[in-house]
Every structure is written in C-alpha cells, then in structure tokens.
Structure 1
Amino acid sequence: MKNNELETKNELQDERLLNSTVGRRSFLQYAGASAAAIALVAAGCKKDRGYENPTMDGATLDFKTDVGVLNYAYALEQLEAAFYIKVASAPPAAFTAAQKAYFQDVQFHEIAHREFFKKALSTAAIGSLEVDFSSIDFTSASGVLAAAQSFEDLGVAAYNGAGVRITTTDYLVLAGKIVSVEARHAAWVRDQISNGSFADLNSLTALGASNSAGLDGALTPDKVLAIAGKYVKTKINVINL
C-alpha cells in the first residue's frame, strides 16, 4: 500500500474514533502538549528541513539533529497506535471488561502521541509506516497482552535510550512526559499477565534494566529498530547514528 493511501486510511479511521464524545474527550485529555510547545518543535524542524536523503527508499531517520530523534519517536508511536487501534476495534472475546476499557483508553494515548509528533514535525515528518502484525493472534487474550507488553517495554527502553541524543531541553521534557505514560502502560499490562509483577525489572535485563540499581531499560535506536522491524513493512534507513 502506498504511503498516501495508507495516510488516507489512517485519517479516516482516526476521524471515526475521534468523532465520538468519549474519543474526542480522551484525545484532548491525553494530548499533553500546548500550542506553544508544538510551535517550538515545528520551528526547529523547519530550520533543519533537508534531513531526509531522497535517494533512499522508505523512511530515513537522520540522527544528526533533534529532527531525527523526533521522527524516530514518531515512527514508534505510529506502530503503537496502529496496534492499540486494532485491538480496541475487536478485542479478544476472553478480555475482561476492565481490559477492554484499558485498550479503548490507551489507543487514544497513542493516537495523541502520534499526532503530536506528526503536527510538531510538520513537513519534516516521515510518511506513514506500513505495519505487519501477522505474527500476533488478535483473537487470543494472552497473545494480545504479550504483544502489548513487548511494545510497551520496548517503547520505554527506546525513549530512555534516545534521551542522550536530544539537545533541546524542551524536547527532552516532552519525551520524559511521554515515556512516563508508556511506563504506566507497561506496568499495567505486566500485572494483567502475572498479578503483582508490575515492578519486576529482572525480566527486562535484555532491554538494559537493572533491578539492583532500580533502573529501567535503555536501548540505542539501532537495537530498538531491529526488534521492532518484524512489525514494520516500510524500510527504515538510519544515518548519522
């Protein structure tokens, strides 16, 4: 599917979601970014517009500037939003009422994150990514929860690992606000899988977590993209990492 066709499909789907009273309220509640912050990010991106190498197919993330880091976050939020929208639209039959409500709410968190980066980056934003969830059984409650845990844990490690590459304080603050929400998601999902395991860090050592130090994981973008690659059809090029 071409990028413009995918973007149109996503926009129509999101419009249906946000047209409901609950959807619109949730989106505004969780967007968490002021107009001033968005304008600030957009202004910085316009200055660095030429970040993309037009000779490469797919999406290019140039980590030479903050624009590349923001596009990296945008790519990950596209992936998470697509996953949660799919689950919320047709949750597994075995889901409890609380689990269905959770996935309904979190889809709006992820849509808000995705749309924030898209609007902030403006013309410097990469296109819509084509996802591949063929490895996930969306009819299985345990399968969906396991996938959600993987996405959230990876998201936390991705934001933590990218923080050092952000040179603008305002961007770093925004990233901190988003990663804290992703960590809430990760804790909730983990507890659904195994009650009382929400604070377990021992199982996250592969993502760089340290239970003895009380520190969550942190992975560099190349490692994150290698893990996330199985869910993305669009080729993602990385330069100046």
Structure 2
Amino acid sequence: MHLSSWASRTLRRRTFLRVAGSATATAGLALAGCSANDPEPTTTTPTYALTNDDTGQLNYFYLLKQLQVAFYQKVTATVPADLTGADLLTVTDLRDHEIVQQLSLGYALGATAALPQLIFDFSTLPLTTRAGVLAAAQTFEDLCSAALTFSVPFLTTADTLRFMLKIASVEARHAATVRDLLAPTTLAAPDAVLTSGGPLANIATPADVLKAITPYITLAVIDVSLLPIA
C-alpha cells in the first residue's frame, strides 16, 4: 500500500497542511444498420454497490477523493478574480493532497476492485467568487472529515486502518485550513467540534454523505446501503 507524505512549506497555512503527513461507465446497445425499423440505441446508468468489507469502505473513501479532486481541479482551472495569490497557493496544495490520496487509494484497491473514474458536475455551485469557492470547499472538507471519522473505525485490516487514519488526520487539517481562510480562529467552532458529549468531531454516516454528494455525481448511481453503520 502506497502511503503519502508532504514536505514543509514556508507559508503558515501551507505549513499547517504539510505537517499532517499524509469513467463514468455507461452501458449502451449499439445496433448495426440504418433501417427505419431498428430500435433507438439505449443507454443505462450504471449502479455501483459498495460491499460490506474493507474493499467497499476503501471504494467509499475513493469516491470522496474523486469528488474533492474534481472540485479543486475545477477551481484551479478557472480561478475567481478575487481569489488572492495566497488563497490559490493553499487551494492548490489542497488539490495536490487530494490527488495523492486518490492515487494512493486507487493503488491500494487495484485496478479490478476500484470504482471507475466518475464524472462530477459543480455547475450549481457559485464558484466565480472567493466566498463561493471557500464556502463550497468548507462544505466538502467538513463532510469528508465527518465521513472518515464515522467510517474509518469499521475497517478490519490493521494496515488499512493505519493508512486511513493518516488520511483522516490530513482531512481534518484541510477542513481547519479552509475555515481559517474564511474566518480566522473558527477552526474549533461548535459546528465543527462537539464540546459536550459524543465524539470530538462531527460524524456523518454513508447515507448522509451520499445524500449530500449525489447532486454532483453524473451518469452513475452509488449504493452505500451495505456499508457498516453500527
């Protein structure tokens, strides 16, 4: 299993990140001939059911990494005019971290077990301004951090658990970094860290996470009903 690491940088937020240490498939019927009586070609949207084991869990995490990579690639490809140079450096770091994590998870799963590369549509998000980009980034980082906090403990293989704990740690730092960009000193705000009972960090079940990200997934259906929740 490939484990990732990141070198230190001079900027404060980038240093904070670095310290952390860690296609769409569509089925069609192609009918030969041009007869007017031939039926129209049809397409079906594939469904990917994630299994109730470590492979299913890793594919769930792999799905989240695909989403985050696609989001940050879109932002860095079309940068809002009011996104500062320092902001862009941080967003680029976040993108690069997510790419390494996605590649690592893909390597851990292997080509035959991993989900295919999915396609995402973020056109409903207001990504033409700094505020819109950072708000969306906070939503995705908080959601993925909460997803990992809930699901990682269900892993059964020691090496896989250690691997994912490192990624979960990085994800929490991502969420804190974006919060600091939006509003300094809010990284431990009550909506991010629970202070009275329960786990230290917010959690989200696979069903909760899928509901939140489904609007951005195109030409595929993801089934997480078999993933452990208790």
TM-score computed with the length of structure 2 as normaliser: 0.75
| Structure 2: gaps spanning 5 or more residues | 1-17, 23-43
Q: Any idea what the Cα deviations from partners look like across 1:132-163, whole Å, max 9, x if unmatched?
A: 10111221110100000000000111101112
| Aligned equivalent of 1:188, options 163, 171, 177 | 177
Alignment check: 8 A CA contact 2:149 2:202 kept: yes
Structure 1 residue aligned with 2:13? none
Offset at residue 238 of structure 1 (A): 2.5
| Structure 1: gaps spanning 5 or more residues | 1-28, 34-54
The reply on whether 1:116 has 2:114 as its aligned counterpart is no
What is the CA RMSD across the aligned residues, in angstroms?
A: 2.1
* Superposed structure 1 runs of 4+ greater than 3 Å apart: none
Distance 1:56 1:163 in 2: 29
The 1:56–1:142 alpha-carbon spacing in structure 2 relative to 1, beyond 3 Å, is closer
Alignment check: 8 A CA contact 2:45 2:221 kept: no
Structure 1 residue aligned with 2:205? 220
Distance 1:145 1:90 in 2: 14
Q: Name the amino acid aligned to 1:211.
A: T
Q: Name the amino acid aligned to 2:226.
A: N
Structure 2 residue aligned with 1:15? none
1:1-241 to 2 correspondences below 5 Å: 57-62=46-51, 64-122=52-110, 123-200=112-189, 202-204=190-192, 209-213=193-197, 215-233=200-218, 234-241=220-227
User: Greater relative contact order (Cα 8 A, min sep 6): structure 1 or 2?
Assistant: 2
Offset at residue 164 of structure 1 (A): 2.8
TM-score computed with the length of structure 1 as normaliser: 0.71
Q: Any idea what the Cα deviations from partners look like across 1:96-151, whole Å, max 9, x if unmatched?
A: 11101011111110000111111211110111111110111221110100000000
More helix by share: 1
Report the structure number with the largest CA radius of gyration.
2
Q: Name the amino acid aligned to 1:158.
A: A
Alignment check: 8 A CA contact 1:66 1:167 kept: yes
